[in-house]
Amino acid sequence: MNILGINWGAHDNAAALVRDGMVVAAAEEERFNRIKHAPYAYPLRAAAYCLHEAGIRVEDVNEVVFSFHPTLQLGASILHTARFFPRGAFVTLAELVRRVWYAGSSMYSDYFLHLTRRTRRFWVPHHTAHAASACFAAPFERSAVLIVDGVGEWPVTTAFRAEGSQLERLRQISYPNSIGFLYSAFTEYLGFEPFDAEYKVMGLAAYGDPSRYRQQLREIVTLEADGLYRLDLSYFNFQYDYGRSTWYNPQKMQEVFGPPWSKDVLPDQRCADIAAALQERTEETLFHIADWLHATTGMENLCMAGGVALNSVANGKLLRRGPFRQIYIQGAANDAGCALGAALYRAVAVHKQPRQPLRHLYFGPGYSTSEVETALQATHMPYRRVEDPAATAARLLTENKIVGWYQGRLEFGPRALGNRSILGDPRQEDMKERINAAIKFREPFRPFAPSVLAERASEFFTDIEDSPFMILVTDVRPEKRAVVPAITHVDGTGRLHTVERETNPLYWQLIHAFGELTGVPMVLNTSFNVRGQPIVNTPSEALATFYTSGLDALVMDTFLVEK
């Protein structure tokens, strides 16, 4: 049975193809239309790729599943108007438009994909799709599941119990008490783009002192009995305007925290302290919910998804703190992963098909050696074939070169996991600044991640040895911080990416070869793109980024290009 999952609507639009419970292909639309997050774009090219990768036609698709249920909790949005009338009426109007939009998803799919009448169409609740993307991809037979994001149909936080193919909803917290929107509102207040740059605030938090604004954040987010919480909405506008104006209340925020920060100026210490207090309260809230969920379910394993589950600092602390012994966070925990989750829900929960624990996310397009060489020839620039791409890249890294690494199938989700990566020597203290200045043009407070051989991660990092999706932050061992300064954040941590030989043998060989040369089985890894652009997909895009940036070398398939 071929099931096509579609996430379509606000952002991170994507498609995924599941055949008999096994993931065949998955990709975000942004990787094809080259617009970051692909806002409001129907994932036509992503869906077409999935069908092509599966070797099927539209007529062979048995079900198309959408990751939003247009009629679910419609009444709650209408009640919202009464609660916040008259300003809240705009939210209800926006919700009605959004739900009509989603209700028409089947019609749009018929138009874009030319679906046949034999293809059945289904809608899965948004948080159910998030939950399925995690628990039906996890190695656990039984787990608690926690979804925290901006908003689904109306839920903002939902807890589930998963056993086998069963997914039972235990509780939900509804809009507008959204931890996701809380973080987005502060992201905008601190001068960044909401729904895009929350990870920058997370990185900035390491430079701040949370005690300065701790009490203010505790007043904004009140923790209540039995894992519940609520927001002081006087600080925000999203309950009224749904993003039409600022997400925060300028008058209230300025009164408590001072004037909002300009987007054109780097954050100062005040901003870092606010970010630190926000991050701390977000972590405390997640711990509070997790404690209740553990006590309620008695489960030892936790699965997480939703935009807030991309907060790798909180994730790492939750794993180290407990009470859950193991945590699985599927790497595409954002809305793109809902395309995968919607398809997996129908396959596993409805059709009782066997599920496939996911240890990697290499489900995007790959290109043959001949296609790569054709793109190289089109540049009319010199290149050469190399016998051992991994050894070649490792040698270049020891020469202090910044290397583009383009191999195999594109990663699904927001992280570059060793197939579309820019690599550097983690031992070089200035490597972070060099990559920022020459290629990424990022804020200087943002860290770069390490890719380390899974079997040797414990030599450099404490507590966490398994992080295949680069979604957990942990401490770099104190004695190793001077050895790998380029990947060690200001607070002594690193966003760990463990590389297994079985899941990515070529990337493993590169890191192993670098380790043989240097004694450090690790490389600095960041996504193959420049600021404001999605990760590269095609060979031509990789070459364009190489020639227009400060990359020193590019290893593509079995070819080497140098400047």
Token pair belonging to 418: 């060793």
Q: Which one of 11, 37, 294, 489 is the catalytic residue? A: 11
Where do runs of H (alpha helix) occur along 348-404? Answer: 369-379, 389-398
Contact indicator for 156, 181 with CB cutoff of 8 Å: yes
Measured distance CA(167)–CA(301) in Å, rounded: 14
**Dihedral, 434, 439, 444, 445 alpha carbons, nearest 10:** -110
3-state secondary structure of 103: helix
Whether residue 11 lies in the annotated active site: yes
Contact indicator for 363, 16 with CB cutoff of 8 Å: yes
Sheet holding 22-28, edge to edge: 22-28, 14-19, 2-7, 63-66, 120-123
DSSP string computed for 494-522: EEEEEE-TTT-HHHHHHHHHHHHHHS--E
Helix 539-547 × helix 369-379 angle, to 10°: 40
3-state secondary structure of 40: coil
Contact indicator for 192, 115 with CB cutoff of 8 Å: no
Measured distance CA(441)–CA(437) in Å, rounded: 6
β pairing state of 142-148 and 301-305: parallel
Query: Counting Cβ atoms within 10 Å, is residue 284 exposed (0-12), middle (13-18) or buried (19+)?
Result: middle
Token pair belonging to 81: 């108007």
β pairing state of 155-163 and 166-174: antiparallel
Where do runs of H (alpha helix) occur along 157-311? Answer: 179-189, 198-205, 214-220, 238-241, 250-257, 269-297
Which residues sit opposite 158 in a β-bridge?
Answer: 147, 172
DSSP string computed for 401-422: --EEEE-SSPPSSSS--SSEEE
Contact indicator for 40, 97 with CB cutoff of 8 Å: no
Q: Which amino acids are annotated catalytic? A: 11
